[in-house]
């Protein structure tokens, strides 16, 4: 959410920043609602002061035997009470209008974010590894002979419908090994604290990280009112909701492996084959809660953590800065890491690392107490995939595929697979 004081002080700059994201000016509307709200609050305070004065005078009139004055003042007290209640209700209504409007506006991009309309305007900033030169036509993951026994879309469709998969045998084990490898790397090498959180959350948590009120259709809600998390960014970030941390406790760096659920609203017809785009998937998430001065450096550090996972697995990738038109709702700057998929002959997103500044912290009321005292200030939050497990499985299978349909697996997974480093063409580990 946005700082109303900053909008009051420089409404033109606020509109200019939103314009970079393709949005129309809105500062005038915000300030109009804000002025009405403040006017109602001031009027209520003045009415309260008049009521307090009249209340004192009621006793004095009664003591003097001034019955007419007593009745007049008593009526005035009752009138002011009703007026105060009315004004407070009106102020609360304006406050709700203002909060709803601010909650629906995206974060403001940093100055160094490239302007652009869509993914075609993103800017590459890093590339690692070279796509393998195959002496045969590489296949997509679901067409590999060694994969087919362990990747069952038909049974998943019977159980749940489209965009689900049942993993079995060696494929399920490789998938699990990837998640454990990612967690171990982030904990032992990158200094993140492993956390295991619920996958069901209340409305407030979804508001806190920006999924609500605008993007409810992208997630699933139970009949009891809980939401299934689209990513553990929601739970990890909200662990500090409503808290005041000590500056010495920052940065707070966390990682979690969780199930994730997305309705994929608006993606009809996209990536319908295979397990690239699923309603249920798994991800290893990274979240950092930092001092405002640390945010930009932390973005680069987290990007490096995600890139390191792919490098250890020997997967070629490139990193791009998202332009203003492609950046997510809550981000001020985002680095997308795209892994090479030879079956599609292109790079596809496998991690998105974002700096949110104080945008989420204001929605969650998450603050820290500066060293040496002073007024609490809002923390800055960051989140990123470290990385998407299913997509990493796809990349491992496609990049390591052999002509007979077997797959050479990354050496880094050997300790998690009992020393086995090959998926045979019959679907076994060897």
The residue extents of the domains of the chain are 4-103, 119-423
Q: What is the 3-state secondary structure (H, E, C) of 93-116?
A: HHHHHHHHHHHCCCCCCCCCCCCC
Q: Are 127 and 113 in contact (CB under 8 A)?
A: no
- pTM comes to 0.94
> In DSSP terms, which residues pair with 256 in a beta bridge?
285
The residue behind tokens 């993103």 is: 122
Share of residues in the chain with pLDDT > 70 (%):
98
What is the architecture, at CATH level 2, of domain 4-103?
Answer: Orthogonal Bundle (1.10)
Spell out the residues 6+ positions from residue 103 whose beta carbon is closer than 8 angstroms to its own.
1, 207, 212, 213, 214, 363
The H or E element that residue 194 is part of is strand 193-194
Give the residue numbers marked as catalytic: 262, 277, 349, 352, 391
8-19 average pLDDT score: 98
159 burial via Cβ count (<10 Å: 0-12, 13-18, 19+): exposed
Q: Which residues are annotated as a binding site for L-serine?
A: 231-233, 262, 285, 383, 385
Q: Are 139 and 394 in contact (CB under 8 A)?
A: no
Q: What is the pLDDT of residues 288-336, one digit of tens each?
A: 999 999 999 999 999 999 999 999 999 999 999 999 999 999 999 999 9
Q: Are 122 and 321 in contact (CB under 8 A)?
A: yes
Return the percent helix, strand and coil in the chain, to nearest 5: 45, 20, 35
**CA 321 – CA 287 distance, rounded (Å):** 19
Domain 119-423 sits in which CATH superfamily?
Answer: Bira Bifunctional Protein; Domain 2 (3.30.930.10)
Q: Do domains 4-103 and 119-423 have the same CATH topology?
A: no
Q: Say which residue, 7 or 55, is predicted with more confidence.
A: 7
| Model confidence band, residue 266 (pLDDT cutoffs 50, 70, 90) | low
Q: What is the pLDDT of residues 356-392, one digit of tens each?
A: 999 999 999 999 999 988 899 999 999 999 999 999 9
**CA 227 – CA 212 distance, rounded (Å):** 11
**CA 145 – CA 136 distance, rounded (Å):** 15
């Amino acid at each position: 959410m946005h700082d109303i004081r900053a909008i009051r002080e420089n409404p033109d700059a606020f509109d200019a920043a939103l314009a970079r994201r393709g949005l129309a000016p809105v500062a005038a509307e915000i300030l109009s609602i804000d002025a009405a709200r403040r006017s109602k609050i001031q009027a209520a305070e003045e009415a309260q002061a008049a009521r307090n004065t009249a209340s004192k005078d009621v006793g004095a009139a009664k003591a003097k035997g001034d019955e007419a004055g007593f009745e007049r003042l008593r009526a005035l007290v009752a009138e002011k009470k009703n007026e105060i209640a009315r004004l407070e209700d009106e102020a609360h209504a304006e406050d709700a209008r203002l909060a709803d409007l601010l909650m629906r506006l995206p974060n403001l991009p940093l100055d160094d974010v490239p302007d652009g309309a869509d993914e075609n305007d993103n800017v590459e900033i890093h590339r690692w590894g070279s796509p393998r030169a195959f002496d045969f036509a590489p296949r997509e993951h679901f067409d590999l002979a060694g994969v087919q026994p362990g990747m069952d879309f038909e049974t998943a469709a019977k159980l749940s419908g489209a965009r689900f998969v049942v993993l079995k045998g060696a494929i399920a084990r490789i998938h699990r090994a990837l998640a454990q490898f990612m967690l171990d790397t982030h904990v032992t090498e990158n200094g993140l604290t492993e956390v295991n959180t619920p996958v069901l959350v209340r409305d407030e948590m979804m508001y806190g990280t920006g999924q609500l009120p605008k993007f409810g259709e992208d997630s699933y809600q139970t009949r009891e009112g809980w939401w299934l998390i689209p990513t553990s960014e929601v739970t990890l970030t909200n662990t500090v909701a409503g808290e005041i941390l000590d500056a010495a406790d920052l940065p707070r760096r966390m990682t979690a492996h969780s199930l994730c659920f997305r309705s994929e609203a608006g993606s009809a017809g996209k990536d319908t084959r295979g397990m690239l785009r699923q309603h249920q998937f798994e991800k290893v998430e990274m979240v950092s809660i930092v001092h405002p001065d640390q945010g930009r450096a932390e973005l680069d550090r987290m990007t490096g953590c995600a890139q390191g996972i792919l490098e250890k697995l020997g997967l070629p990738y490139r990193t791009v800065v998202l332009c203003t038109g492609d950046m997510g709702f809550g981000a001020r700057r985002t680095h997308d890491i795209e892994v090479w998929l030879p079956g599609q002959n292109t790079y596809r997103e496998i991690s998105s690392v974002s700096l949110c500044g104080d945008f989420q912290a204001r929605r969650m009321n998450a603050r820290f107490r500066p060293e040496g005292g002073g007024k609490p200030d809002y923390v800055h939050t960051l989140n990123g995939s470290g990385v998407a497990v299913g997509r990493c499985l796809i990349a491992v299978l496609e990049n390591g595929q052999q002509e007979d349909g077997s797959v050479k697996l990354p050496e880094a997974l050997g300790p998690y697979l009992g020393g086995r480093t090959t998926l045979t063409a019959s679907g076994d580990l060897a």
